[in-house]
Amino acid sequence: MELLKMEKVKDGRYLKNYELTYRNKAGREKKYEIVSRNEIAGPDMIGQKVSGVSIVAYYEDKMLLLREFRMGVNRLIYNLCAGMIEEGESLEECIQRELYEETGLSVRKIRSILPPSFAAVAFSDVKTQIVFVDAEGSFEDHTSENEQIDAKFYTKEEVRELLETEEFSSRAQIAAYFFALH
């Protein structure tokens, strides 16, 4: 596969749409659309910038899950605390801010930060980091008027039940599965 051309086709407030033209293995041109949170200056910049974080948080023997309304799927789903890194903000500052904004909790300890990974490779170059933290504090709503989030800590048994009956984001489903069953 060879990338022949890249063209921005839409410049939205939060997302930019690009059309990529490839030469496929049969030698024919293939048009492909992607979205990015970043301004991509050229083909070598696709997927280079980390734009956000997903937080797997624990308190004692419980896991934090958010039941939140997601406009992209028009329903409530279970998800991880997550968000975008703001200009000039360190990853650690982003972790603390996002956890606080979405739950009112604070980070007691960062357990682990995984290397950057792609969030949705079928249509986007969005790259995020998954972090594991111990959280503390009390739940408070600090969300914007455009967010509907109910945050709660769940036991392994409660998470097992949710996995059988509820809809999740894929990242939250994987984290919940390994928390509950392993």
Enclosing domain of residue 17: 2-45
Q: Write out the H or E segment, with its range, that includes residue 180.
A: helix 170-181
What's the pLDDT band for 143 if we cut at 50, 70, 90? Answer: confident
62 and 36, same structural domain? no
State whether 22 and 93 are in the same domain. no
What average pLDDT does range 171-176 have in this prediction?
97
State the total domains in the chain: 2
**12 and 75 share one domain:** no
Average pLDDT, the chain: 95
Kindly report whether the global pTM for this prediction surpasses the value 0.85: yes
pLDDT digits (tens, 9 = 90+) for 100-125: 999 999 999 999 999 999 999 889 99
18 and 93 co-located in one domain: no
Tell me the per-residue pLDDT of 13-50, one tens digit each, with 9 for 90 and over: 889 999 999 999 999 999 999 999 999 999 999 999 99
* 162 touches 79 (CB < 8 A): no
Per-residue pLDDT at 142 exceeds 90: no
Statement to judge: residues 82 and 129 lie in one domain: yes
Asked if residue 172 has pLDDT above 90, the reply is yes
Task: Give yes or no: residues 34 and 124 share one domain.
Answer: no
Same domain? For 40 and 129 the reply is no
- CATH code, domain with 158: 3.90.79.10
Residue 55, CA distances (Å) to 11, 13, 19, 114, 154 in order: 29, 25, 31, 11, 15
Residue 52 has pLDDT above 80, yes or no: yes
Within this chain, do residues 97 and 154 fall inside the same structural domain, yes or no? yes
Tokens found for residue 160? 């097992």
pLDDT of residue 182: 77
Strands 75-79 and 29-36: unpaired
